[in-house]
Amino acid sequence: MDNSVVVRFAPSPTGPLHIGGARSALFNWLLARKHGGRMIVRIEDTDLERSSTESEENILNSLLWLGLDWDEGIRKGGDHGPYRQTERLNTYNEAAAKLLETGQAYYCYCTEEELAAQRQACMEKGELPRYLGKCRSLSEEERSRLEAEGRKKVVRFRVPENENVVVRDLVRGNVVFESNGIGDYVIVKSDGIPTYNFAVVLDDALMGVTHVIRGEEHLSNTPRQLLLYDALGLRAPQFAHVSLILGKDRSKMSKRHGSTSIEAYRSQGYLPEALVNFLALLGWSPAGEEEILTLDELVDQFSLDRVAKNPAVFDIDKLNWLNGAYIRKSDVGRITDLAIPFLREAGYVTGEITPDRYEWLKMMVASVQEKLEYVAQITDHVRVYFEDHVKMENEAAAAVLEEPEVGEVMRVFRQKITEAEELTPESARKILKALTKELKLGGKKVYMPLRVALTGQTHGPELFYLIPVLGRDRVLVRLAQTVGLKD
């Protein structure tokens, strides 16, 4: 492959960007970036009823959020526009007129009932339902009569008989379809709008697309498209159909297995680089062991040879694991910014955030950053900071405070906290170190009772952070509440 690779992502704006669409966009993007090629984004909005500007915006914004930009197309312009199919109707109509002229396409006047009868006839013979060619060879008189009746008409492509159409798929190898099983299909609907299979061919050809990577659900469309390339004398791109995405139970991915839209993950505080990494592993695998890969590493390593034929399994636990790994690697300021809306919603943050308050929030976020799989979980983890009364979470926690050395630990700790000039994670670390040394106790004998005394829990935020996040006053109040230590 050389640097003349041109790929495209051509979503239908009938809903938000989904996991499957995002994965197709990513694979195309990776191929383009790897070969120094170009990525086009255009909009397939021929389903007038279901298409909306809102979906288009959602899809494009989700792509950009994932870091998948494009070189040409919608919002961007270029030499092959317009990039919305409803704005390209002339192109399709001209091509349809040519096919009609040469007899490679014809007008069909069949009513719904007539179509249903033909489908029924196929099924009775045990064949796939298809159009049986009722209007294939209408005489001039018949046509005029049907026109005079004011019947609606569509344009159908005349599928050549007895041909094998071979899809040379870069992932699946050669996949052969018999033309006789296809049936003449509609290329322009009665309202003058082209069908997907027709418009996509003209767009891909006229935009110079060299590689089409898309979901396996489109594989059966590809022979229909190849026949049109032939009929129109256009050069077909290379195709790669990537496998379906299944849930862990091997049924088609649906909401039961996890949210399906990219937006849903964004709004739960998933990081785009984690999601991209996860999407890349849905059907592609790196040559090496390392699965945590940045976008640059993915570009470097991506190749269609390593795209699997068998279905990809969507594993939300794996996504959470990856996302957690990326959160841990992230700058605490970034996670804090992402956390603030969740903290506001929970009522933990109100009003304007002063610089001091922001520093405090950062320290709080740092105390639980290690534990987050996605940022929305933060409210559960920081709840301990906002409770007025410390409650023992269970008997095991209460029992920790019954140990013989606890009284001494608390007393010395309290003294050190009272005397400390300022409380920071560093000073807290020093205080705890000094404490274990003075009392000649192992870390656990000191940390666990302190954790329980300050939070009522045997697990939770990092202790070095917990102490300064609570601050001296609240540490003292809590010690009074849980172990009865007072002045």
CB of 200 to ligand GLU, least distance (A): 5
Q: Which of 17, 44, 209, 431 is close enough to bind ligand GLU by CB under 6 A?
A: 44
H or E stretch covering 312: strand 312-313
190 in Cβ contact with 154 (< 8 Å): yes
Q: Is 262 in the site for ligand GLU (CB under 6 A)?
A: no
273 in Cβ contact with 327 (< 8 Å): no
Number of other CB atoms surrounding residue 153 within 10 Å: 17
Compare residues 48 and 116 and give the one whose CB is closer to ligand GLU. Answer: 48
CB of 197 to ligand GLU, least distance (A): 9
d(CA 304, CA 30): 10
CB of 172 to ligand GLU, least distance (A): 16
d(CA 139, CA 370): 76
Site string for ligand GLU, 181-220 (x = CB under 6 A): -------------------x-------------x---x--
Site string for ligand GLU, 4-43 (x = CB under 6 A): ------xxx-------------------------------
Cβ neighbours for 323, distance < 8 A, ≥ 6 positions apart: 270, 271, 274, 275, 278, 373, 374
Angle (deg, nearest 10), helices 196-206 and 89-101: 100
Compare residues 27 and 302 and give the one whose CB is closer to ligand GLU. Answer: 27
Compare residues 195 and 455 and give the one whose CB is closer to ligand GLU. Answer: 195
d(CA 115, CA 120): 9
Cβ neighbours for 331, distance < 8 A, ≥ 6 positions apart: none
CB of 244 to ligand GLU, least distance (A): 13
Compare residues 133 and 208 and give the one whose CB is closer to ligand GLU. Answer: 208
Compare residues 235 and 411 and give the one whose CB is closer to ligand GLU. Answer: 235
CB of 401 to ligand GLU, least distance (A): 60
Cβ neighbours for 37, distance < 8 A, ≥ 6 positions apart: 3, 4, 5, 6, 7, 31, 210
Among the options 255, 309, 433, 437, which is catalytic?
255
**φ, ψ of residue 149 in degrees (nearest 5):** -70, -10
Compare residues 46 and 377 and give the one whose CB is closer to ligand GLU. Answer: 46
Compare residues 13 and 468 and give the one whose CB is closer to ligand GLU. Answer: 13
Site string for ligand GLU, 221-260 (x = CB under 6 A): ----------------------------------------
CA-based R_g, the chain, Å: 32
Compare residues 195 and 377 and give the one whose CB is closer to ligand GLU. Answer: 195
CB of 214 to ligand GLU, least distance (A): 4
Identify which of 159, 165, 160 has the alpha carbon closest to the alpha carbon of residue 177. Answer: 165
Integer CA distances (angstroms), 398 to 105, 216, 380, 457, 458, in order: 82, 57, 21, 9, 9
Structure tokens at 77: 């312009």
- Tell me if residue 98 is catalytic: no
Number of residues binding to ligand GLU, judged by CB under 6 A: 7
Compare residues 12 and 118 and give the one whose CB is closer to ligand GLU. Answer: 12
240 in Cβ contact with 171 (< 8 Å): yes
CB of 307 to ligand GLU, least distance (A): 15
DSSP calls for 458-470: SS-S-HHHHHHHH
Cβ neighbours for 247, distance < 8 A, ≥ 6 positions apart: 253, 254, 256, 257, 313, 314
CB of 211 to ligand GLU, least distance (A): 11
Residue type, 227: L
CB of 10 to ligand GLU, least distance (A): 5
Residue with tokens 């059907």: 283
| Beta-bridge partners for 173 | 169
Which residues are tagged catalytic? 255
Note the residues at the interface with ligand GLU (CB under 6 A): 10-12, 44, 200, 214, 218
